[in-house]
Amino acid sequence: MKRLLSITLLLLASPLASIAQSTTLAQRIQSIMDRPEFRHAIFGVEFYSLDAGKPIYSINADKLFTPGSTTKLLTEGTALALLGADFRFHTRVYRTGAINVDGTLDGDLVLVASGDPNLSGRINADGTLSFENEDHSYDGDPNTRAVPGDPLLVIRRLAQQVADKQIKKIRGHVIVDISLFREGARELGTGVVMSPIVVNDNIVDVTIGPAATEGAPVVFKPSPATSYVTFVNRATTGKPDSEPEIRWSGDARNANGMHTVTITGTFPAGKPAILFKYSVPEPSRFAETVLVEALREKGVTVEMGTPGEPRDFIKLAASYIHDQLVAEHISAPLKEEI
C-alpha cells in the first residue's frame, strides 16, 4: 500500500507539459502499471482537471477498491483546505484550584487534548519534524525503526513547565480531557485506538532479541518504560534458522486501569533484535500515567494519581481560563505535521 501511495503521488507530481512532450499521459501511466512488480496488482485511477472541468485520464474509475492508506490523501487534503497550512495545535494544561504559598495545588491538573497527532520525539531543535520511512507502524521487520528522539519529549516539557510554575504538590488528580471527540475501540486491522490525545503514536515500542542460548527467555526492552503496561516475558530463543514469531498473548486490564501483557512465541538465536509495537488500548489513561510519571521526575508530588471513571469534562471546562493555564505545547504547522 505504501508503494501504491508513492506511485499515486509520483503521478500527481508529474508535470503534464513534460509528459506531453515525450509521450501521452496514458502511456506514461501504463508504463508504470506494466512493471513486473505490479503484475498481480489491479489499478483504479482517475485524474480530473479543474481547469477543463472533466477527467483527463480514467481506468477502472467505477470499480470499488479497498483504499487503504491512500485515503490519507483525502483526509489530509481536507484538513489543509479547512484549517490552512499554517494551522497549529495548542495542547494546554490547566489547574482547577489555587496554588498555596507552599507550592501545593488544591485541585486537579488537566491536560486538554487538542488532536495533535505528534506529541512525540519527532520534534527537531528547529521545530521541524523527523520521520522514519519504516517507523514502528510497520513493526516486526528488521528495517523497522523507532520514532526519532525521546518518545515522551512533549510530556516531559509540559511537566517541566508545571514545575516552573512553582507547583510542588498536586492534591488532586492528573486528568486528560478527551472531550474533543470520543475515544474509540481498537481498530480491527492495526489495533490502533482513535483518540484526541496521541503520545508517541499511542505506541509502546518493545525491542525484542535473542538470549545467548536456545530455549532461554528472549531479551526485551520497552520504550517508553511506564507503569501503564507491565510485560510478562514467556517468549523464548528459538533455532538460528527459524523466523521471529512474537505475539501479545494476553492483555489484562488491572483494577487500577493499568495493563499486564504477556509476550509469547520465539525469536531466532543469533539474529539482530527487532522492534515490535504495543498499541495502547486506552490512550487517555496512557497519557495520564506518563504525565504523572514525568511530573514526579521533575520533583512534583502527585497525591491522587490518575482518576477513576467517569470524568466530568463539562465541569472541568470551567477552569480552562488564561489565569489557570500552567503549561502549553504548540505544534509545528499543519503542513509539517502531515
| DSSP letter (8 states) at residue 210 | -
pLDDT attached to residue 305: 72
Confidence of residue 13 (pLDDT cuts 50, 70, 90): very low
Stretch (H or E) spanning 31: helix 25-33
Report pLDDT for 19: 41
Could you tell me which of 313, 291, 286 has the C-alpha nearest to residue 302?
291
> Do the strands 104-105 and 259-268 form a parallel or antiparallel pair, or are they unpaired?
unpaired
Q: What are the contacts of 280-283 at 24+ separation with CB within 8 A? A: 280/193, 280/202, 280/203, 280/204, 280/228, 280/229, 281/186, 281/193, 281/251, 281/253, 282/183, 282/193, 282/257, 283/178, 283/183, 283/193, 283/195, 283/197, 283/198, 283/199, 283/202
| Residue 231 pLDDT grade (very low, low, confident, very high; cuts 50, 70, 90) | very high
The class of domain 90-337 in CATH terms is: alpha beta
Distance in angstroms (rounded) separating the CA atoms of residues 283 and 306: 13
Query: Which pLDDT value is given to residue 10?
Result: 43
Overall average pLDDT of the 99-123 stretch: 92
Greater model confidence, 184 or 309: 184
23 φψ region: left (φ > 0), alpha (ψ -120 to 50), beta (else)? beta
Where residue 71 falls among pLDDT bands split at 50, 70, 90?
A: confident
Cell match 498481480: residue? Answer: 40
Judge whether 337 and 129 are in contact, CB under 8 Å: yes
Lowest mean pLDDT among 16-25, 182-191, 314-323, 329-338: 16-25
Q: Domain residues of the chain, as ranges?
A: 2-65, 90-337
pLDDT band of 336, cuts 50, 70, 90? confident
**Comparing 13 with 61, which gets the higher pLDDT?**
61
User: Does the pLDDT value for residue 311 go beyond 70?
Assistant: yes
**Which of the four pLDDT bands, split at 50, 70 and 90, describes residue 186?**
confident
**Rounded (10°) CA dihedral 119, 282, 220, 1:** -70
- Strand-pair category, 236-238 with 259-268: parallel
Q: How confident is the model at residue 208 (pLDDT cuts 50, 70, 90)?
A: very high
Q: Which residue has the cell 528459538?
A: 238
Sheet of 301-302, strand order:
104-105, 169-170, 301-302
pLDDT at 8 over 60: no
Q: How do residues 249-274 score in pLDDT, each as one tens digit?
A: 888 888 888 999 999 999 999 999 99
In the structure, what pLDDT confidence band is assigned to residue 189 with cuts at 50, 70 and 90?
A: low
Q: How many residues in the chain?
A: 338
- Whole-number average pLDDT of the chain: 86
Q: Model-level pTM?
A: 0.79
What is the bridge-based pairing of β-strands 90-95 and 325-330? Answer: antiparallel
